[in-house]
Structure 1
Amino acid sequence: MIPSSIIYLAVMLGVIIVWFVLFKRPVYEAVFISFLLLLTITGTWENVFVYVEDALSTSLLYSMVAFVAMSILLTKTKIIDSCIAVILSLIGRVTGGAGYTAVIASAFMGALSGSGPGNVMATGAITIPAMKRSGFPAHLAANIESNASYMGNMIPPSSNIVAAMGAFVALYPESNMTTGQFWIVLWGISIWFIIQRLFMVWAFCKYYKVKPMAKEELPNLKETLKSGWQGLLLPVIILLPFVLDYLFKSTLFTDRLGEAGAKYMSSSILLFIGGLASIYTCLIAKDKSQVTLPSVAKMFANGVKTIAPSIAVCIFGYMIGSLFGELNVADEMGGIISAWNFGKLGTVIAICAITCFMGMVIPGSSLVVIFGPMFITTLANVGCNPLLVAAMLPCICGVMCGITPPLGLGMYAGMTLAGSDFDKTFKNNMWWVAAQFVLEVAVLMNWLPILGL
């Protein structure tokens, strides 16, 4: 007899595939319809408002809105363009410099926005033409940009990571894990994936004999620093509070604020950093007419189409997660995987393969919410570090979903900007997917040293 958890999962996947892939409707509609159908199949309509309340009662939704709104400000005020120009002026003169710039700039911007396709279109409009002018084939430029942009989904302060921390804290409340401590581990993991992408750029530059950018096309370093240095302080403003929380929570902050005060300060950092960075963005904007109250209100009103879908997907994902929690779907799935007796390496490979496949049709944020606790528990049972597994959830769920063909939205966004051939882009992208998969396994197996662990 087929386990009920498999049936529920098949129903959800089936609805999303039909509605999103065949009918080409928005993915948030598909997730919501699958929720309604699951309510009907399981006969749990009487608890629908319980699931809605569970989804809306988390402060993580505010954090997601705040950071996505901040990314809109950064894009509309052209501050990100200034940052990219500075990076390009510094490393564009080396062989493949435009590609390295794309990796660094897109990873940073992707971390702020948490939107892979949106980030490809925003930063790719600058980096892809620069890569093509310096000799990158169109299909390679598209894949560098899409893979770098989706890497932002796993780098703090991306809104995609908040559900991962929530899953870990729910399973291990005695750990007293702070946001700062969790983010340090995430940065430690992200460093390896940034290095991996930089190495891939270097290798492909050798293969395709890419040249440095022409001197006349490079931005002037002195001029770009003069006009864009203030934007380079944004990472400091965003990241410093979390670093200080990691370093001094148990010492200085506890001594000054008491244990309870230090705890609540740590938990509130994520709530105000997005707003603080947005205020700083308004202060350093060159065109002050863009950051008047009416202009900002209009900017956000026009950006609702950008914010609403990602937030809706998360809310509906939380609702399905609450429903599945009551039905013990994740626990049953974990039991099925554990019964395979694959051992540590086999289970790690299996989980990475499952998330790769499911991520083709289910948004990464929803995957983390619905199955994150099961992934943590299953891998912890075979000897993996549960904190490391939790910190890897945005990677194995949120990154692979956007780069894996045939439904990798990041690849298609990059192809649109680069004007690349599908077959060439697809074949080249498989190298990036394979490298991503191998590194995921290596990190989860704890074969590499990770900052913060």
Structure 2
Amino acid sequence: MAGVWALVAFVGVIIVWNAVFKRNIGEAMIMGFLAVCAFAVFGGVEGGGSPLEAIGSAVLDAMQEEVTFAGLAFVFMSYLLTRTPVLDRLIDLLNSVLGRLRGGPVYTATVAGGIFGAIAHVGAAVTAAVGSVTVPWMKRSGVKPELAATVVAGGAGMGVTFPFSSTMFILVGGLAAQGIMQPDEIVKPLALAGLWCLGYRLVLVFFLVRRHGIEPISAADRMPFGRSLRTGWTSLLLFVPILVPLLLTRGPLAELLGAYSGVGDELKEPVELADGTTLPAQAYAMPDVISLITWIPVLMIALVLLLGRKHLPRRASGWWSAVAEAAPSFGVIGITIVAAFSASNLLADLGLADQLKTVLSGLQAPGWIMAIAIGVIIVAIAIPLTASATMAAVGPVAVAALVGAGIPAPIAAAAVLIFASTEGASPPSGAPIYVASGIARVDPVKTFLPLLSYYCLPILGMGVLIAVGALPV
């Protein structure tokens, strides 16, 4: 059970180093990773490989993660936006339409997270697309940066709670192979479960708006719609970097491009790429070749450079100074992400998934106790892993355990996906946390406790209520 104890040590060391010793989250994440390394060095890794090689590979893979790039890219994008009037004009336009509503930007961020989550399904991509506009808008409307980042990261899980995410297909594929349920049986329960989760988030926003005293934008600070549209219509182009990757990966245009390029065709044999990577013989889709989380910040930065060119440096010395001003944010976000993913990779090498699967297989209790126990275990697994990896590792076993306790398979599967959807709100390793914090330019640790109390634990509770039938699906 070295992997399980390493996970406990990872989280415990981070909490102590950050909360007790009052050190920054970057240091805390490094110390947590070193604790996991100690388990690898003294206890060995699965397969009997070299612990040092496993550690090196874990760090290298973490540095090559697209979320690492995206987190840093969003920090730079956010910095550029503060140097130009592009975003200010868009916010003036949005405020002229919704600014009269109390907490309008916060409600918009939550609903947009549900809509985008039902389309894109990738938590970090949902955060990136929604947060790019709504986080600066919330900050401009008087919402604290840490609360803005919390709301956007807390909505990332809706990509899993609505059909038809890759996480859902990973789970139902394993269940169908075992004859537990058919894939189409989960669609209705999961859609209703997703609506319950969205409804909870809207109630939460109602509470947060009043608790934090968020008021409507005063009439004196709101431009008339006609004037804001005339002066800021070009700022609407900021939605283009979000829409273009989305249209190229989903929908009719994506299908046409896939058919033309052969992306959707099954490879007859493994293909070795120029960098040495080998693609196995399987079918790929457009989202596999065009990453939303990579291309949204790239296109956003390019557009801001174009629209705000008159307000940006024109010489190399000016750009050097600009990058130097943003460097502290790069350091904290970058180190934190790399340490989080390095620990995740190394925990996998320690056999965390198989060990937790053994724990799940041995559980026997009444339905409500099983729902709570399995929910807690899956939420714990989702701390270092993505929802998809969690479902691949223990999803079918978790559903089978709930079915054995008398819970219908489709409802059990929906509940398990709800549990896994906490990945975006599970400190300290949830990728959406760092994407949102990068956009808000805030210390990620300031979102940890709010995410746990407002999103992670309540969503865990909703999954339990769905499993036991208290929330009908």
Scaled by the length of structure 1, the TM-score of the pair is: 0.64
Partner of residue 126, structure 1: 140
Q: Say yes or no: does 1:92 pair with 2:113.
A: no
Q: Per-residue CA shift, 1:268-307, capped at 9, x if unaligned?
A: 2114443223212211226442577655554444434323
Q: Work out the CA distance in 2 between the residues paired with 1:88 and 1:29.
A: 41
Contact 1:77 1:290 in 2 (8 A): no
Q: Work out the CA distance in 2 between the residues paired with 1:202 and 1:10.
A: 35
**1:309 and 1:323, CA in 2 relative to 1: closer, same or farther beyond 3 A?**
same
Q: Residue 350 of structure 1: which of 364, 373, 378 is its match?
A: 373
* Higher mean displacement: 116-125 or 282-291: 116-125
Q: Work out the CA distance in 2 between the residues paired with 1:368 and 1:228.
A: 39
Partner of residue 379, structure 1: 398
Contact 1:86 1:224 in 2 (8 A): yes
**How much has 1:105 moved relative to structure 2?**
8.9
**1:252 and 1:190, CA in 2 relative to 1: closer, same or farther beyond 3 A?**
same
Q: Residue 398 of structure 1: which of 421, 424, 430 is its match?
A: 424
Contact 1:12 1:38 in 2 (8 A): no
Q: Say yes or no: does 1:234 pair with 2:238.
A: yes
Contact 2:357 2:393 in 1 (8 A): yes
SS in 2 for 1:303: helix
Contact 1:364 1:394 in 2 (8 A): no
**1:231 and 1:202, CA in 2 relative to 1: closer, same or farther beyond 3 A?**
same
Partner of residue 73, structure 2: 69
Q: Say yes or no: does 1:214 pair with 2:215.
A: no
* Higher mean displacement: 236-245 or 440-449: 440-449
Q: Work out the CA distance in 1 between the residues paired with 2:90 and 2:21.
A: 39
Q: Residue 284 of structure 2: which of 256, 260, 263 is its match?
A: 263
Partner of residue 6, structure 2: 8
* Higher mean displacement: 347-356 or 220-229: 347-356
Contact 2:77 2:300 in 1 (8 A): no
The structure with the greater share of residues assigned to helix is 1
**1:389 and 1:18, CA in 2 relative to 1: closer, same or farther beyond 3 A?**
same
Partner of residue 119, structure 2: none
Contact 2:353 2:393 in 1 (8 A): yes
Scaled by the length of structure 2, the TM-score of the pair is: 0.62
Partner of residue 324, structure 1: 347
**How much has 1:398 moved relative to structure 2?**
2.4
Q: Work out the CA distance in 2 between the residues paired with 1:189 and 1:307.
A: 37
Contact 2:254 2:286 in 1 (8 A): no
**How much has 1:23 moved relative to structure 2?**
2.0
Partner of residue 23, structure 1: 21
Q: Per-residue CA shift, 1:283-338, capped at 9, x if unaligned?
A: 12264425776555544444343234444344334433343333322211222134
Name the count of aligned residue pairs.
Answer: 397
Contact 2:6 2:35 in 1 (8 A): no
Contact 1:28 1:309 in 2 (8 A): no
**1:331 and 1:364, CA in 2 relative to 1: closer, same or farther beyond 3 A?**
closer
Partner of residue 181, structure 1: none
Q: Work out the CA distance in 1 between the residues paired with 2:204 and 2:420.
A: 21
**1:368 and 1:27, CA in 2 relative to 1: closer, same or farther beyond 3 A?**
farther
**How much has 1:10 moved relative to structure 2?**
3.2
**1:99 and 1:396, CA in 2 relative to 1: closer, same or farther beyond 3 A?**
closer
**How much has 1:42 moved relative to structure 2?**
1.0
**How much has 1:399 moved relative to structure 2?**
1.5
- Unmatched 5+ stretches in structure 2: 117-123, 160-164, 177-189, 268-282, 403-408, 429-435, 444-448
**1:63 and 1:210, CA in 2 relative to 1: closer, same or farther beyond 3 A?**
closer
Q: Work out the CA distance in 2 between the residues paired with 1:59 and 1:390.
A: 30
Q: Per-residue CA shift, 1:374-424, capped at 9, x if unaligned?
A: 45344344446999789767741322538xxxxxxx99xx9x99xxxxxxx
Contact 2:80 2:304 in 1 (8 A): no
Contact 1:102 1:145 in 2 (8 A): no
Question: 1:48-63 residue pairs with structure 2 within 5 A?
Answer: 48-57=52-61, 61-63=65-67
Q: Work out the CA distance in 2 between the residues paired with 1:171 and 1:60.
A: 30
Which amino acid in structure 2 is aligned with residue 246 of structure 1?
R
Which amino acid in structure 1 is aligned with residue 96 of structure 2?
S
Q: Work out the CA distance in 2 between the residues paired with 1:434 and 1:324.
A: 23
Q: Per-residue CA shift, 1:144-187, capped at 9, x if unaligned?
A: 6464133254478xxxxxxx9799879979x9xxxxxxxxxx99
Q: Per-residue CA shift, 1:171-219, capped at 9, x if unaligned?
A: 979x9xxxxxxxxxx9999886555433444467789998754322334
**1:126 and 1:242, CA in 2 relative to 1: closer, same or farther beyond 3 A?**
closer
Q: Work out the CA distance in 2 between the residues paired with 1:445 and 1:250.
A: 40
Which amino acid in structure 1 is aligned with residue 238 of structure 2?
L
Q: Work out the CA distance in 2 between the residues paired with 1:257 and 1:115.
A: 26
- Please tell me the root mean square deviation across aligned C-alpha atoms, in Å: 5.5
Which amino acid in structure 1 is aligned with residue 153 of structure 2?
Y
Partner of residue 178, structure 1: none
> What is the percent sequence identity of the aligned residues?
17
**1:51 and 1:207, CA in 2 relative to 1: closer, same or farther beyond 3 A?**
closer
SS in 1 for 2:8: helix
